[in-house]
Structures are given as C-alpha cells and as structure tokens.
Structure 1
C-alpha cells in the first residue's frame, strides 16, 4: 500500500517523500528521459555480503531483486583468475566471469527493462581482464558504448533498452579501459575519471567521526564538471558516496533526513546537480531507496 511520510530536515523545511511498497527504485516508469536524469541505489563493495567485515547483508542477486542498479566491485588477480575481493583474496573467491554468467546476464534476460551499472576498482592488467571476459559467452554487444551514439548528450533510457546496451561499466583503471575484444564481441569499459565524478569516498573511519563535506575524489575533476572530455553535451555521471571506512550495519548514514541534508547542504552546492548513483553500505538499512525515489521526482537542475 502506498504511504506518505514527512521528514523534518535541519532548516525546518519538511520534505514529502512517497514510497510505493511494491515499486522498485531501479525500474523507472518514465523511460523517455536521458540516462543522466535518473538516480540509482548503488551498493559499495557489493560482493562483500560475507566474511569478517561485510559491507552488505545481501548477495548481489538479492540486491538486484531489491532494486539496486549500481554495483561497486573490486577486482584482483588471484589463482589465475580475476576475482571479486577486497584488499585480499581468499581461495575460492568469486570470479568476475561467474558474476556475469550466473547473476548479471540471467537477471537482465529475466528483466527486460533493467539497466545495470558496474563501478570497477580494478587492480588487474588488461590481458588478465580480457582473458577473464573471454570466459563469458554472450557478453559482447551488451555493454554501453558511448561513442556509438550520435547524440548531443546521454541517450534516453528507452533508447538504451532498445539497442540492448544495458550494462554500463566504469573503471578506475585507465590501462584496462576502452574497447576490449573478446570471443563474444566487443566489451566497452569507460574510464571513471572521464565519464563520472564522485565525492571523496569516506565520511570518516568509524561512525564516531562524521565529515559531511562533499568534495571531489579527484582534484583535477570538480564535481560540477559540465562535460565529458571529447563528448560535447555529455555530463559526467555523479556518484554520491555515503559510507564510513569501517562498515557498521546501522541505518544512520542511510536515514532519509541524513541523506537529504548531506545532498542539500553539501553535495548540491558542490555539484549543482542531483547524484546519479547513491552509494551506501547495507543498502536495505534506513531509507536509501526512498531517497532515490525522491531524487527521481525532482526536476533536473532544481535546487533542493
């Protein structure tokens, strides 16, 4: 059942947010807008739902089913494979190919209106990554190629669905970005520092320190950067990081009023736009989905 709730923010202004219990933040009703007009729930270290210090409670399959559409993944080369690990790989850590074969591609096949974004912190080489992607049948042609669109800005969500380019991949590794030729076809990986902007990743080491400032992770790339280099009219997609260095499964960082205040008082003044990706730990704790739904209801360029 739909319900409305009121949240008081610091200035005394009340923000009205609507949350449809059955609706998913990852499935927009209106697909006619350019892709950079949408916001998505994004999971930090999406693959760490087990181990001593997890960042998520849910598996990636469960996250996707819950409406998550952005996944932050760390890649390392271990035991002759590219694996999803955080700082250190363990024997049997999940491979990138397995993620595509058993989770991502089946999910996209079953959900024809879904688009998924991968944010890679990649510590592998180009050869290692290409060899791993060679093991994924059917991946070629399904990744977003920005240079294949003769548009003065991001294509619409609907156009991306129709062309079948439903996986966006951004990487912090310049050397492993570009077009990778694999057995199933070309796989396109966009360098994060060209195609995205993001605020510095940490609110503080622990929940006992809290720095809400919103400044760029990369000094040369202001959050308000208006255009992707060499792509007239294309804005970098904005990732709003909202998590601490040590993950604690509390909901404070993900509360609606906390998110609105950080966005309104810090990130909006710095970026002059709403975020496309809201990256959090323990995404189901608190109100991240409600916040993203609220963002998607805001007109582009409207000051909160």
Structure 2
C-alpha cells in the first residue's frame, strides 16, 4: 500500500482471514461528481480512483441495465448522471495490476436479470461497451475470488472459513464481489456464478435507514438489519439516509475518529462481530490533509487482538442463539468511549448480548475479559473464556452439548 495515505495497515493483517479484518467501506462509492458528473446529489466527494489511492478497499455499487449497457447509477434508471461499469472496472484493473498486494471488495446492488451481462462485462466484454474497446482494458476476471456456494441444511464448520489475506494475495484472487439482487425473476443464473457471492449468505449489516444522530446511536447495537445473523462479516452503517445523496455536514462530525471508533467498538462488543464501517464522504472531518480519519479508525480496529471462535454442536455449527455476558464487570459496554450510552440501558446489570454460530470480541488492554456462554438446557465447554494476555489473538471453539 505504498501509494496509499494510510500505507501500512494491510501489512499488519496478512495472516488474518479475510472475514477478520475491518475494512473501510465507501457507501455509494460511485455516486460522486468526478465519476458521474455535476448533476448528482453525491455520497462521496472523491472519485473511485482517488478512493483507491487513499486506501479505501471496499466499494458499494448500484448496477443497472441502462441504454444497452450496465451502468452505475443511484436511485434507479432515471436521470442523466451515471457511469459505465466497464470504466470503473478499467480503473480497478489498472489499480490491481500496479499493486499486486492489494485486495478490493465490491458490494454490488444489481438490478434486473443481468447475470450473463455481468459475467461478460467482468471478462472485459459485455453489452454496450463497444465504444471502450481498444481504449481501456476492464478484464478483471483473472482477479476474482471464486467460492463454491454453501450447501443448505446443517451449516458445516467450514461454512465460515475464509482464506487469509496472504492466501488471497498469493493466489492472485484479490477481487471479492458480493451481490444483492433486485427485480430478478430467478436467482439461479446468479447462483451459477461462483464469484458473485450472495451477500446475505456471508454478511449481515446494521440498519441503513437512519436519518439523524439519535437513529445513529440507536442503531449501534440493533443488528436486525439484513443478512444471516450467524454471518461473521458485519457492515456497520455509519451515515444517515432520507435523501438521494449524503450529508457532508453530518459526516464531518460522524467520521471523526473518536466517534467512529467509539461506535465501532460498542457495536463489536454488543454484537459479537468485528465491524467494517460504511461511510459517506470518507474524508469529511479530516484534521490534516495527509490524515484520513476513517482509515485511521479501521487501522486502530485492526491492531486490536480478538477472541474468536465457533459454537460447535458435533460436526456442525450449533445453529441457535446463545447469550454471552462478561461476568467480571457485567457489562460489555462498560466503557462508553465518549458515546452517550444511557439509552442502551448501561445502568442495568447485563447487556443482552447474543451470538449465533460464530463470535468475535475485541481484546482491549486494561479491560477485564471473562466471557460466559449461557442457554438453558445446554452445556458449554468451556463455559467461559478468561483472557489476561492481550498481545495475541485467542482462537477457541466452544463445544455445545444438550443436557
């Protein structure tokens, strides 16, 4: 990441699995004036090329069939402001070509039955792209991460296993793509694409439809947004909605490191999932030109060690919700990190923390950790996890037995 303004954080996580890294996600990354023109209510000030150069490694995109091609456009197929998908992929290919140790993730909202067109476009072809032939090369297919679709029924232990950052780099599968489908007649053509991963199989997210500061605080711990509750990859939305674009004024406060870090830490503790924050105007609130607060927050999160494991029931994952509490201080969010937590009930003896199949909790030096697992009618081995060494990750699986 030598060309990034935050060049070193990826080197610190090379041996971590992909799902155990906190990534900065730019919400509606394409919805910016440099990429799609002045006639737009933007979510980002900078174009995707600058986002990648700055160190952003996860982009949210809306893909629509429009005018015989695939376009990036926010708010549907109305209006004149859009970007061609192949142009974005061309910039992405150039970046991946020049930076062989970088990994990029795309979160794609795709509209319509466009599975065939998508694969062709990612292979450097596609409908409506003739004008770009010979001018740019957008064949990113060799970089795609391929993953077999999980079997339904009991979730096997390997269901949640992801390669490490180093393994993705060594295999050159450095482009991870998740999909969210809209207006499709059948998912089968998309399921056949082993690189276009079902977002709701592997990820979950906090509610995105927030309109003000109160909503932002209320939805720090309210995880029932979308996706499987047991999915370990967790998107923490950190921007208000209610308008076509974003609010730069709101972002200038919300994106401050002290607030974004506080909210991320509380969400991590109270959901049992390592968060990746999704933000508008990722550079809003920066204190210095060379400092990007939102990236600094993710670097701080990634420097923390964690308690990580799975709830195993025989050869499968447990598949039931389990209550977890910190028996030492009775509250997971005992330290507010500067955020008003009164509405979360921190005066109560317990926070209602529940985990499903997998769990992750941060190890913060100076904080006592003694996590206890509880569910009536079941026995857990170990039934609690106590940690005193905060210098390394603690990987431990909890075996569940019915009494």
TM-score, normalisation: structure 1: 0.77
Corresponding residue SS for 1:238? strand
Conservation of the 8 A alpha-carbon contact between 2:205 and 2:227: no
1:239 maps to 235
1:39 maps to 22
Out of 170, 174, 177, the position equivalent to 2:190 is 177
Conservation of the 8 A alpha-carbon contact between 1:118 and 1:170: yes
1:291 maps to 297
2:274 maps to 274
Counterparts of 1:99 and 1:139, CA distance in 2: 11
Counterparts of 2:208 and 2:226, CA distance in 1: 13
Deviates more, 1:256-265 or 1:160-169: 256-265
Corresponding residue SS for 1:63? helix
Corresponding residue SS for 2:89? helix
Classify 1:46/1:217 alpha carbon distance in 2 versus 1 (closer, same or farther; 3 Å): farther
Asked if residue 112 in structure 1 is aligned to residue 112 in structure 2, the reply is: no
Conservation of the 8 A alpha-carbon contact between 1:32 and 1:156: yes
Conservation of the 8 A alpha-carbon contact between 1:259 and 1:291: yes
Quote how far apart the aligned CAs of 1:131 are: 4.4
Quote how far apart the aligned CAs of 1:93 are: 2.3
Deviates more, 1:137-146 or 1:245-254: 137-146
Classify 1:24/1:201 alpha carbon distance in 2 versus 1 (closer, same or farther; 3 Å): farther
Alignment of 1:64-75 (within 5 A): 64-75=52-63
Deviates more, 1:123-132 or 1:69-78: 123-132
* Unaligned runs of at least 5 residues, structure 2: 34-38, 126-137, 150-156, 286-292, 307-360, 365-403
Q: Cα RMSD (Å) of the superposition?
A: 2.6
Counterparts of 1:302 and 1:76, CA distance in 2: 39
2:142 maps to 141
TM-score, normalisation: structure 2: 0.59
Cα-to-partner distance string for 1:222-249 (whole Å, 9 max, x where unaligned): 2xx1x5xxxxxxxx31111110114111
Counterparts of 2:49 and 2:55, CA distance in 1: 10
* Unaligned runs of at least 5 residues, structure 1: 1-20, 181-186, 228-235
Aligned residues: 261
Alignment of 1:152-301 (within 5 A): 152=158, 153-173=161-181, 175=187, 177-180=190-193, 188-202=195-209, 204-206=210-212, 210-213=216-219, 214-216=221-223, 218=225, 221-222=228-229, 225=230, 236-245=232-241, 246=243, 247-250=246-249, 251-265=252-266, 267-275=267-275, 277-286=276-285, 287-300=293-306, 301=361
Asked if residue 302 in structure 1 is aligned to residue 362 in structure 2, the reply is: yes
